[in-house]
């Protein structure tokens, strides 16, 4: 990997870094139960690996009330078997887990279907499942640490089941899915797993695996003629750009829409570690509006404490793309008077002292801002959602050392999901649901990417803007919706706007892109009023693009 900053961005992009959640054995007649067997280094048993070589599923029924409307649904929890990139076409290589919800009594040929996934890379999709769009939702505090168990699991008043059938897909290696290593002994299995990991865990291998999953799912559930949507969060938006290109150009599957939440398409623009790339200044410019929103939320802006956020952001965006960007571009030629003037303005807009901005050469990374904003009280500001705060691990460090929002909600999501999936969906007894693969010693993400039309894979900083643009040009009716939170320091909202406004597409296709913003963070749904707003906006988007007008 050529760019150190890229490594920092990828390592820190994960939705929540949490340990694998071990589930104690329980007896059940569930078809997804696994008998005990010899344990391997990756935590699997021989019996489980053998069972995962074939699709598994458990079907249940339920009812959800969405904004006062009762919807009966069928739920299917299961796994499908994927054959990688076709290198070993006849050999099962990956079992991918999924949770599908189908509205009862609907015409499947007309009913929209949305494929949903989180990011990481390396995260399962339990977050969007239990926080945003599934029929059940875990209750967490809005901007403070959620107390320990017991947690509340409630009817989700804003599930997307009123507009679309839903398929939550777990990335290979997460959830109940696994890499399916072959071999007669542990040494052969370890070697095969290493090869599978290299093939699957990467930008292109992951995209192909998801494409194969969707193709299989459409056949298995007879959904080829349904209006189709992709919904990705965080790295899931990166995946959506790659996946849309594969489905459109390779598989000739026209999508009705691609819905992006907390978007990152060009990793050169990440504010997590731009200091590793001297001369690349746009990350600082594009993150400034989020710095201002965060400082305003925590009442660190005396000149704006009594004002509204909207007018402040308008001022900051104008300053960012004029005086601030010009000052950074000037580099060492910027005269002292102008440097001091810009630093004073940055103090007004961010709450960080002008002296700090001057010492930082007017360039403050996301981690520096998170650590410094409230450091007078030994407090670290959240990264995924900067409304959250927590005690600083080390008040003397240069940057933040953990994310308070991740610490505040991870236990609730993991505990609630493991309870729900077994009690309500009747799936996974005696199996281990992995929220992520970060604890796997062999996990490494290959960032090389071969963009549409390219002859070879490109190394270095990842940029998939061209993939989304290619999908939009191949299918000029494809609509794109961007959703962003004002308090997201992981993928700042203004960065997402910049990316979409710089897609290499004809001017006439720009009208296919819509934008929506919320007073929340990376996980927009952590704030319930924002969840309602996003639900209503996404429903309108689906109903306006499903080519039948009402999403039914």
| Cβ–Cβ under 8 Å, residues 171 and 179 | no
Confidence of residue 84 (pLDDT cuts 50, 70, 90): low
Distances (CA, A) of 419 to 412, 478, 482: 11, 38, 32
Q: pLDDT (tens digit, 9 = 90+) per residue, 433-482?
A: 999 998 766 789 999 999 998 888 888 789 999 999 999 999 999 999 99
Residue 40 above 60 pLDDT? no
| Cβ–Cβ under 8 Å, residues 111 and 5 | no
Of 14-23, 302-311, 348-357, where does the model show the most confidence? 348-357
Q: What is the pLDDT of residue 540?
A: 98
Confidence of residue 191 (pLDDT cuts 50, 70, 90): confident
Whole-prediction pTM: 0.90
- Of the candidates 245, 320, 230, the one whose C-alpha atom is nearest the C-alpha of residue 503 is 245
Fold of the 4-268+409-545 domain: Rossmann fold (3.40.50)
Residue 226 above 50 pLDDT? yes
Give the orientation angle of helix 493-501 with respect to helix 282-297, to 10 degrees.
Answer: 140
DSSP designation for 39: B
At 540, which helix (H) or strand (E)? helix 528-545
What does residue 148 show for φ and ψ, rounded to 5 degrees? -65, 175
Q: What is the pLDDT of residue 433?
A: 95
Least confident of 273-282, 332-341, 529-538: 273-282
At 230, which helix (H) or strand (E)? strand 228-234
- Of the candidates 134, 13, 42, 33, the one whose C-alpha atom is nearest the C-alpha of residue 434 is 42
The domain segmentation of the chain, as residue ranges, is 4-268+409-545, 270-405
Q: pLDDT (tens digit, 9 = 90+) per residue, 267-325?
A: 999 999 888 889 999 999 999 999 999 999 999 999 998 889 999 999 999 999 999 99
Separation between Cα atoms, residue 285 and residue 319, nearest integer Å: 9
Q: What is the mean pLDDT of the segment spanning 473-494?
A: 98
Separation between Cα atoms, residue 268 and residue 264, nearest integer Å: 10
* Interstrand relation of 257-263 and 479-485 (parallel, antiparallel or unpaired): parallel
DSSP designation for 56: E
């Amino acid at each position: 990997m050529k760019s150190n900053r890229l490594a920092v961005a990828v390592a820190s992009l994960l939705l929540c870094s949490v340990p694998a959640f071990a589930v104690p054995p329980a007896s059940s007649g569930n078809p997804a139960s696994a008998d005990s067997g010899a344990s391997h280094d990756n935590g699997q048993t021989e019996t489980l690996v053998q069972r995962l070589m074939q699709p598994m599923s458990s079907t249940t029924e339920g009812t959800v009330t969405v904004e006062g409307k009762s919807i009966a649904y069928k739920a299917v929890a299961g796994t499908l078997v994927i054959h990688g990139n076709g290198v070993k076409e006849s050999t099962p290589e990956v079992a991918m887990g999924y949770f599908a919800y189908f509205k009862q009594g609907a015409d499947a040929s007309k009913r929209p279907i949305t494929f949903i996934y989180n990011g990481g890379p390396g995260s399962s999709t339990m977050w969007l499942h239990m926080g945003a769009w599934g029929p059940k939702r875990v209750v967490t505090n809005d901007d403070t640490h959620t107390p320990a168990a017991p947690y509340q699991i409630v009817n989700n008043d804003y599930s997307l089941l009123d507009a679309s059938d839903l398929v939550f897909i777990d990335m290979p290696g997460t959830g109940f899915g696994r890499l399916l290593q072959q071999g007669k002994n542990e040494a052969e299995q370890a070697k095969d797993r290493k090869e599978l990991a290299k093939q699957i865990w990467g930008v292109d291998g992951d995209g192909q695996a998801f494409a194969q999953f969707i193709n299989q799912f459409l056949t298995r559930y007879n959904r080829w003629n349904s209006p189709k949507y992709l919904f990705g969060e965080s790295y899931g938006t990166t995946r959506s750009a790659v996946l849309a290109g594969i489905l459109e150009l390779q598989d000739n599957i026209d999508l009705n829409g691609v819905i992006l939440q907390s978007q990152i398409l060009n990793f050169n623009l990440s504010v997590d570690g731009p200091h590793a790339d001297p001369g690349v200044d746009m990350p600082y410019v594009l993150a400034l509006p989020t710095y201002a929103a965060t400082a305003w939320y925590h009442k660190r802006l005396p000149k704006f404490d009594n004002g509204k956020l909207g007018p402040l952001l308008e001022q900051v965006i104008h300053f960012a793309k004029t005086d601030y960007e010009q000052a950074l571009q000037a580099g060492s030629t910027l005269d002292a008077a102008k440097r001091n003037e810009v630093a004073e303005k940055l103090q007004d807009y961010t709450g960080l002292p002008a002296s700090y901005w001057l010492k930082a050469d007017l360039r403050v990374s996301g981690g520096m801002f998170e650590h410094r904003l409230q450091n007078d009280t030994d407090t670290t500001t959240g990264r995924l959602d900067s409304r959250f705060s927590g005690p600083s691990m080390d008040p003397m460090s240069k940057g933040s050392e953990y994310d308070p929002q991740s610490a505040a909600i991870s236990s609730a999501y993991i505990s609630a999901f493991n309870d729900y999936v077994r009690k309500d969906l009747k799936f996974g007894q005696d199996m281990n649901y992995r929220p992520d693969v970060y604890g796997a010693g062999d996990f490494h993400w290959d960032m090389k990417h071969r963009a549409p039309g390219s002859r070879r894979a490109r190394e270095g900083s990842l940029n998939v803007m061209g993939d989304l643009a290619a999908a939009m040009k191949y299918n000029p009716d494809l609509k794109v919706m961007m959703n962003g939170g004002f308090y997201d320091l992981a993928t700042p909202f203004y960065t997402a706007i910049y990316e979409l406004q710089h897609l290499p597409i004809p001017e006439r296709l720009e009208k296919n892109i819509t934008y929506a913003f919320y007073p929340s963070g990376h996980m927009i749904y952590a704030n319930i009023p924002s969840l309602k707003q996003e639900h209503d906006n996404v429903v309108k988007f689906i109903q306006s693009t499903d080519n039948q007008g009402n999403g039914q």
